Amino acid sequence: MARVKAKVDALILEHLLPTVSPIKEIALLYEMMRDYPERPAKGLRSLFCVTTCKALGGSEDDALLTAACIEILQNWILIHDDIEDGSELRRGRPALHRKYGELLAMNAGDALHARMWGVLLQNKDRLGADTALQVMEEFARIVNETTEGQHMELAWVVGRRWDLDESDYLAMVSRKTAWYSVAGPCRLGGLIAGAPAAELDRLREFGLKLGVGFQIQDDTLNLVGESSRYGKQKADDIREGKRSLILLKALKEAGHEDAARVTAIMQRTRQEKTDNDVNRVLALMKHCGAIAYAQHTAQQFLADALAVLDTIRWSGDAAAVQLLHDVARFSIERQW
Amino acid sequence: MARVKAKVDALILEHLLPTVSPIKEIALLYEMMRDYPERPAKGLRSLFCVTTCKALGGSEDDALLTAACIEILQNWILIHDDIEDGSELRRGRPALHRKYGELLAMNAGDALHARMWGVLLQNKDRLGADTALQVMEEFARIVNETTEGQHMELAWVVGRRWDLDESDYLAMVSRKTAWYSVAGPCRLGGLIAGAPAAELDRLREFGLKLGVGFQIQDDTLNLVGESSRYGKQKADDIREGKRSLILLKALKEAGHEDAARVTAIMQRTRQEKTDNDVNRVLALMKHCGAIAYAQHTAQQFLADALAVLDTIRWSGDAAAVQLLHDVARFSIERQW
């Protein structure tokens, strides 16, 4: 795992992102584009891509450039998400817009987005024009899904919507997170390995299950995990006003008065929320079993994902198949 | 001209942008992605692409999809620029973020950006994989240049920089505007027509000259044009605090006291600036000859651009060559 991550990081930082410009303003832009990629991260998404490729008979080297683009994708999305969500921290350090302001950060996200497509074009030299184009088609789909999911969540924020069902949540999170975190990376690995369409369909199913479970787990860690290892403020999702599965479940299970009280707190801005507010919401989430419910649901999604994984006809490296199972398990069982 | 524009508009609105979704939040996202493209616009950029293609022996139909993507490019850039510049109006109507808020508008810009790349992949069917990839390489370069130029200008705003030379302005505007407005569109037309590298180099030179002239002319129209036809608030650039060539020239020509007074006004936010403030800056710009200087400079860039155009070995439709000259002239001589 660590070896693939080191290769992908080196590729991104030493070859794919720009470094120097004689114009000092532009040198600052390059520094901003490199900022998130230089921060420590798990690199799970690129690992899904490379490992799936190997498990389906493809070579690691064929998948590295695409894996690097998955990390670049993740980073430009985070730059824009952090602005849109008003996040303070990212990977334990100030969010990019907190360091440089929203205007420059927004544009740096655009620059990194375009750079991702520019890098994807280089796939032509190793994979040939047709596969390079197929890989880009998958990226186009991934970004479509991600922006649709992001729009759904933002529309709820702007519309002050709290009357949401679990099905609304699942429709949002499968688009916003599961596609670019797991379904897309795995399908890209399969594509590069030359896997047939039926296997790519199963990889999508696996990825959506695992990706949704991954996000639900992420949301529970935000509330009860160790913030120093996790790299965000503790219970930052409550401060942010996030419609997590946990919150929606708590609103549903709580009595009318408690629900109204929690909604009123959640509706406050980050600045307006006191620590006491946050602790009251957290206490209700625990008390009504919403956190335990979310943890259980995440495990259910993991089990479903692993079951799909077992239906895939692997044609490659057995160690990679095993690693894929392990990474899937880790991504939901991790405690940070 | 109008015929090409009608074809490109129909392609974008009827075939390339999404329309319906069963999820009502996502239907709103699609409406937002279609909002700017549905507003009346001149379509000069797509015309440069199609006309250059024909003038170099290519077919109009081969260039239409790429021309549509140039318009999509222009629209997602405008969505983000309008947020970053705090613009109120776009094409005579409220800017997208004034209608829907910054969060949703920013994400809709990302969605439209990704859609552009998704559409560009369709070039494969008509132009073949290799040309489709070359077209995308040109787009990657165009967006790189544009985001670098945008970063330069924003960095001046954030850094409260007013001590800028004409050479700083030209370095910024050639990246921010000239590439995506003229150099890129013309080169794309040439690429599709199969023009040799030497001609593509000349098209870049033509495009940079004309694009810079175009922007300088645009900035003079913002100050002295008819706002009802132009679609922006009169002298909006002064309210925005824009470092236009006109302003930089005025600061240089004015005495120390006048320059300090103008800088102090320009540094105020849009809300803080009174009509009287705006009129004082405008009066100084006129009085010290900065507007006349900019108009003269724009004409000089036009003359240089036309001279480059005459060195290109045209191999196609003579009417298209003539149209290119006419459009070049119009884009700088226009009064709105």
pLDDT for residue B224: 86
Nearest-angstrom CA–CA distance, A238 and A231: 16
User: A323 vs chain B: nearest CA distance in angstroms?
Assistant: 32
- A179 in reach of chain B (CB within 8 A): no
Contact between chains at A144 and B111 (C-beta distance less than 8 A): yes
DSSP state for residue A297 in the 8-state scheme:
H
Contact between chains at B151 and A100 (C-beta distance less than 8 A): no
pLDDT for residue B322: 96
Which among A100, A133, A155 has the least Cβ separation from residue B132?
A: A133
pLDDT for residue B234: 75
Rounded to 10 deg, the angle between the A197-224 and A318-333 helix axes is 30
User: A152 vs chain B: nearest CA distance in angstroms?
Assistant: 5
Total domains, chain B: 1
Nearest-angstrom CA–CA distance, B270 and B198: 46
CB neighbours (10 Å) of residue B163?
A: 9
pLDDT for residue A117: 98
Chain A positions touching B157 (Cβ under 8 A) are: 103
- B25 in reach of chain A (CB within 8 A): yes
pLDDT for residue A336: 59
pLDDT for residue B229: 52
Rounded to 10 deg, the angle between the A275-287 and A256-267 helix axes is 140
- A257 in reach of chain B (CB within 8 A): no
User: A186 vs chain B: nearest CA distance in angstroms?
Assistant: 20
User: What is the identity of the amino acid at A327?
Assistant: V
Closest CA to A123 of A185, A188, A74: A188
Contact between chains at B155 and A115 (C-beta distance less than 8 A): no
Closest CA to A130 of B35, B231, B130: B130
The 10s digit of each residue's pLDDT in B92-126 is: 999 999 999 999 999 999 999 999 999 999 999 99
Specify whether the CB–CB gap between A154 and B107 falls below 8 A.
Answer: yes
C-alpha neighbours within 13 Å on the C-beta side of residue B305 = 30
User: What is the identity of the amino acid at A256?
Assistant: H
Stretch B18-41: mean pLDDT: 96
Contact between chains at B111 and A148 (C-beta distance less than 8 A): yes
CB neighbours (10 Å) of residue B259?
A: 17
Closest CA to A316 of A51, A57, A53: A57
CA angle B135, B136, B138 (to 5 degrees): 65
- B154 in reach of chain A (CB within 8 A): yes
User: What is the identity of the amino acid at A157?
Assistant: V
CA Rg, chain A, in Å? 20
Secondary structure (3-state) at A254: coil
- B169 in reach of chain A (CB within 8 A): no
Which among A84, A106, A137 has the least Cβ separation from residue B84?
A: A106
User: What is the identity of the amino acid at B32?
Assistant: M
Chain A positions touching B137 (Cβ under 8 A) are: 118, 121
DSSP state for residue A56 in the 8-state scheme:
T
Contact between chains at A111 and B152 (C-beta distance less than 8 A): no
A83 → chain B, closest CA residue = B103
pLDDT for residue A231: 55
B85 → chain A, closest CA residue = A103
- A158 in reach of chain B (CB within 8 A): yes
Contact between chains at B26 and A84 (C-beta distance less than 8 A): no
User: What is the identity of the amino acid at A228?
Assistant: S
pLDDT for residue A234: 75
- B171 in reach of chain A (CB within 8 A): yes
Whether residue B137 is predicted with pLDDT greater than 70 in this model: the reply is: yes
Q: What is the mean pLDDT of chain B?
A: 94
CB neighbours (10 Å) of residue A194?
A: 15
Secondary structure (3-state) at A167: helix
Contact between chains at B151 and A28 (C-beta distance less than 8 A): yes
Contact between chains at A107 and B147 (C-beta distance less than 8 A): yes
Nearest-angstrom CA–CA distance, B132 and B61: 14
Nearest-angstrom CA–CA distance, B126 and B214: 32
Contact between chains at A155 and B124 (C-beta distance less than 8 A): no
pLDDT for residue A224: 86
The 10s digit of each residue's pLDDT in B266-292 is: 999 988 999 999 999 999 999 999 999
User: B310 vs chain A: nearest CA distance in angstroms?
Assistant: 32
User: B142 vs chain A: nearest CA distance in angstroms?
Assistant: 9
Stretch B292-320: mean pLDDT: 95
Specify whether the CB–CB gap between B107 and A84 falls below 8 A.
Answer: yes
Give the number of A-B residue pairs with CB atoms closer than 8 Å. 144
Structure-derived torsion over alpha carbons of residues A64, A66, A67, A73, reported in degrees to the nearest 10: 150
CB neighbours (10 Å) of residue A79?
A: 27
Nearest-angstrom CA–CA distance, B232 and B251: 24
Structure-derived torsion over alpha carbons of residues B323, B296, B71, B87, reported in degrees to the nearest 10: -160
Specify whether the CB–CB gap between B284 and B250 falls below 8 A.
Answer: yes
Contact between chains at B26 and A152 (C-beta distance less than 8 A): yes
Chain B positions touching A171 (Cβ under 8 A) are: 23
pLDDT for residue B245: 97
Specify whether the CB–CB gap between A82 and A99 falls below 8 A.
Answer: no
Nearest-angstrom CA–CA distance, A128 and A263: 53
Nearest-angstrom CA–CA distance, A12 and B154: 26
Domain span at residue A43?
2-333
Which H, E and C letters describe A174-207, residue by residue? HHHHHHHHHHHHHHHHHHHHCCCHHHHHHHHHHH
Nearest-angstrom CA–CA distance, B170 and B173: 5
Q: What percent of chain A has pLDDT over 90?
A: 88
And the tokens for B212?
């810079």
Contact between chains at A111 and B143 (C-beta distance less than 8 A): yes
C-alpha neighbours within 13 Å on the C-beta side of residue A238 = 28
Better-scored residue on pLDDT, A232 or B44 = B44
And the tokens for B57?
């022996």
CATH code at A201? 1.10.600.10
User: What is the identity of the amino acid at B10?
Assistant: A
Closest CA to A133 of B66, B115, B130: B130
Segments of chain A with pLDDT less than 50: 228
Contact between chains at A84 and B107 (C-beta distance less than 8 A): yes
Nearest-angstrom CA–CA distance, A232 and B123: 43
Contact between chains at B155 and A80 (C-beta distance less than 8 A): no
Secondary structure (3-state) at A90: strand
Nearest-angstrom CA–CA distance, B285 and B300: 20
What ipTM does the predicted assembly reach?
A: 0.94
CB neighbours (10 Å) of residue B307?
A: 12
pLDDT for residue A227: 54
Contact between chains at B29 and A83 (C-beta distance less than 8 A): no
Nearest-angstrom CA–CA distance, A91 and A332: 19
b/e burial code for range A25-57 (CB count within 10 A of at least 16 → b): bbebbbebbbbbbeeebebbbbbbbbbbbbbbe
Contact between chains at A130 and B129 (C-beta distance less than 8 A): yes
Contact between chains at B28 and A108 (C-beta distance less than 8 A): no
pLDDT for residue A233: 65
- B26 in reach of chain A (CB within 8 A): yes
Stretch B142-167: mean pLDDT: 97
Which H, E and C letters describe chain B, residue by residue? CHHHHHHHHHHHHHHHCCCCCCCHHHHHHHHHHHHHHHCCCCCHHHHHHHHHHHHCCCCHHHHHHHHHHHHHHHHHHHHHHHHHHCCCEECCEECHHHHHCHHHHHHHHHHHHHHHHHHHCCHHHHHCHHHHHHHHHHHHHHHHHHHHHHHHHHHHHHCCCCCCCHHHHHHHHHHHHHHHHHHHHHHHHHHHHCCCHHHHHHHHHHHHHHHHHHHHHHHHHHHHCCHHHHCCCCCHHHHHCCCCHHHHHHHHHCCHHHHHHHHHHHHCCCCCCCHHHHHHHHHHHHHCCHHHHHHHHHHHHHHHHHHHHCCCCCCCCHHHHHHHHHHHHHHHHCCC
pLDDT for residue A229: 52
And the tokens for B86?
């705090």
Chain A positions touching B158 (Cβ under 8 A) are: 100-101, 103-104
pLDDT for residue B331: 76
Contact between chains at B113 and A108 (C-beta distance less than 8 A): no
Which among B83, B103, B111 has the least Cβ separation from residue A147?
A: B111
User: B218 vs chain A: nearest CA distance in angstroms?
Assistant: 23
